[in-house]
Chain A
């Protein structure tokens, strides 16, 4: 599945899109752990939320692989 990346997440990952094996991340929590494991810079630079289909998602959210997913680092609009 594809995970869209913005702001500092895009810079840490080095792309605006991350491809993840859906079997390796069946929930938002698993996806979060996988991202931090693969890119330890997140621990140093930024916490992040995960959005699923344009809404902030809880860690318990179960992913099917068909959703639109994004990494949402701390926002700073305004």
Chain B
């Protein structure tokens, strides 16, 4: 019989969200245990691009990303070089006049929310900033407060911060079951006042009624071409690709890495947990990228991979108490924004757990909120 210790909090999952939650709770003085089925930053987090981005799909999403970006900027000076924090900014690229109008609306939305925006760039200014973009684009919005990190290293660092405050981490420890203020790993029951399910794509296996669906994505990375791209580049059409729960879509989304490599996305598919490479979608994604950056044709791609975004129908993560099970909290379902919103999620979780009033209304993130039917557009 294992002698059981009662922890203040058990965090399930050492991805970037779990690591951030463990850090925030440990900084509030709680005795935290982290249980990770694989290794730190190794699953959903490792498949991510690492774009720190303000997004305005809904007021709640904008509030959470804005809070998170402010927290990342506060941390920037502390981050070790391995996290590869680069305040490169995002360029939202408009192909035509209609998208330029969307760019201006986006600029107004961001400014109203206190997010710094440059003037809308015309074609010539955009070409000067990113010479490898094709000619004939209409313009872009530069959001200078956005950035890029290397997500696995960020998860490792956040968890190290927690461990420096007494947090204990068990890797290769799979949680099989969550019950009232307790979790079971094999034959062992562990107890805590607070259980945080931050298991990314695995969260729904532990809390089966969570409304999370896997949204598969492909990424490709080139060899090193320093200076090839300088900002995170995203086409305006990405917003529609991310927003609509269509069964399949691709969008132009490239990112400069600290190594000089170019990271190329993005694709979205609803195919369950089928982890195989979809060569057709990968091809369409790369074709889309080459349409915006023709010089990508002359670069070498050294690796492609796939991962699953833990998505919800209303595009908002699940952050808050899970009423059916005593002591259980959810920090999952971040789809493609988990890297950005890990810090904001952790702040909200810590505020709620500690009985503080969060910085803004969090009801939009309630894990048991009513969700629209998961209708999938063809």
Query: Do the two shown chains form a genuine complex with each other?
Result: no
A: residues with CB less than 8 A from B are none
